[in-house]
Amino acid sequence: MEKGTTHPIGRAVVDHSEGKDLPSVSVESFEYFPGRGLVATLNSIEVTLIHLEDRPRPGVSNVIQELQDEANFRVMMLTGDHDSSARRVAGAVGINEVYCNLKPEDKLSHVKDISRDMGGGLIMVGEGINDAPALAAATVGIVLAHRASATAIAVADVLLLREDISAVPFCIAKSRQTNSLIKQNVALALSSIFMPSLPSVLGFLPLWLTVLLHEGGTLLVCLNSIRGLHEPAWSWKQDVLQLINKVKSRLLPLTTNNTSSSALDTANL
């Protein structure tokens, strides 16, 4: 039956069977339904091909929920699959906005229209050759490089080397954290320069204290930058809370050891 189709999977099955000792079977009344399957008659008996369906990657539903709830993203699916298959997958992962039966130029048109209507940045995640035009047109194109086509890799802005879809929200959260840290550090650096300068010029602050405040600002910038080594959070409140919890976890063993030592000293007395 696959000899009568031009689908890549069908052609792969035919190529794999060549050269093998398989009986030759002729089929009658062959029909091909794009996006649905094949139907044919064999010895006056109607037969159909095994149904294959796409399954979401593990953890995709959690990623979609995180992007919608934590990042406040509008998430949509652009796919070349037919309507029933696309909506089944979208429903399984929690995507409500679905555009199906799209050709590469249709995906490109949707990306341009959505970017214009929203008036802001747009992130496109894909890996196939059909995604390449849309990836290039998006503000940021993210590609899972493990199984991506060479064309998609060539136009991508971000390549995720590990085969894990959860790296997408991590990448977005890390970029937000980095952007926030840069703004904070610029504000700290400028404050440490200008705030002591005027009182020093007017004679209210001695020179040594002005220098000390300036160098203290530099130290604050360095300490603030260390936060970039931690797991990114979606807001500065979560980031600060995460930092406090880590400090507590580091101090707790020290406090426990000191308490134990005091108890032993008391027992010895």
User: Splitting the chain (269 residues) into consecutive groups of 10 residues, what average pLDDT does each group show?
Assistant: 67 77 71 68 65 75 91 91 87 92 92 86 90 93 87 91 86 90 91 84 83 87 86 75 77 64 50
In this predicted structure, what is the pLDDT of residue 264? 45
CA distance 31 to 34: 10
pTM: 0.69
In this predicted structure, what is the pLDDT of residue 155? 92
In this predicted structure, what is the pLDDT of residue 1? 63
| Comma-separated ranges of CATH 3.40.50.1000 domains in the chain | 60-168
| CATH 3.40.50.1000 matches 60-168 | yes
Q: How many CB atoms lie within 10 A of CB 244?
A: 10
Cα separations in angstroms, 77 against 2, 74, 182, 198, 246: 29, 10, 33, 56, 38
In this predicted structure, what is the pLDDT of residue 63? 92
